[in-house]
Amino acid sequence: MPMLMLMTRVLIATSNPGKLRDFAGAAVPYGIKVSPLPNFSSLPPVVEDGATFEANARKKAEQYSLAVPGQVVIADDSGLEVDALGGAPGVHSARYAADEPHAADSNTDDEANNRKLIRQIRSVPAEQRTGRFVCWIAAARDGKTLAVFEGKSEGFILDRPRGHNGFGYDPLFYFPEISKTFAELSAEEKARYSHRGAAFRQFLEWISKQT
């Protein structure tokens, strides 16, 4: 019997409420619940020093999967790439407002990150503010990555926030296909169009083929 048929819950290595909300929204059509890894806050944090989203996702999934032997755990790393900024903030998206994002020990506030982004693109013409959200998900068991999945969403960066849902850069990310920012969508709507939803659906398709 396919593993997905046996699954009612997916363990996710995060305590980020925004990410959990995104994953939950993507899981609804499959009748699956998502849960943070048990006692996640008490586990030693993983240093996300990878040069790519994929590297960080693998590192987190592998280390955190050791806490639940025999079970599949997924972890993601994601962020925003703005073309006019040479792909920044990229892997430093969560620490963008720090004086030295590449050396920061902890994430910076969403609003501070958004304010910095607005400052950085202020002189860029609206039609040139192209960018994308990127998400890599790694699935691991017993410290070994089993598979990785990538999702992307292409859009434009606004110079002022719109909407009150979502998290991170969602209020500034305008998705032309629906003429809304990600912060103007419900969790289920966002899952339909988002980078994280796309990557998570690939994971669900993969695990449904495992026996």
What pLDDT is recorded for position 101?
76
What pLDDT is recorded for position 7?
59
For 23, the 3-state DSSP assignment is helix
- The two tokens of residue 189 are 């709507």
What pLDDT is recorded for position 187?
87
What pLDDT is recorded for position 105?
72
Count the neighbouring beta carbons within 10 Å of the beta carbon of residue 113: 24
What pLDDT is recorded for position 211?
54
The answer to whether 155 and 107 are in contact (CB under 8 A) is no
Query: Can you list the residues of the chain whose pLDDT is less than 50?
Result: 1-6
Alpha helices in the chain (DSSP H): 3-6, 17-27, 53-65, 110-121, 187-193, 195-208
What pLDDT is recorded for position 29?
85
Look at strands 173-175 and 144-157 and give their pairing: antiparallel
Kindly report the CA angle at 141 between 16 and 90, in degrees rounded to 5?
A: 45
What pLDDT is recorded for position 2?
42
Q: Which domains does the chain have, with CATH numbers?
A: 3-208 (3.90.950.10)
The residues annotated with a catalytic role in the active site are 77
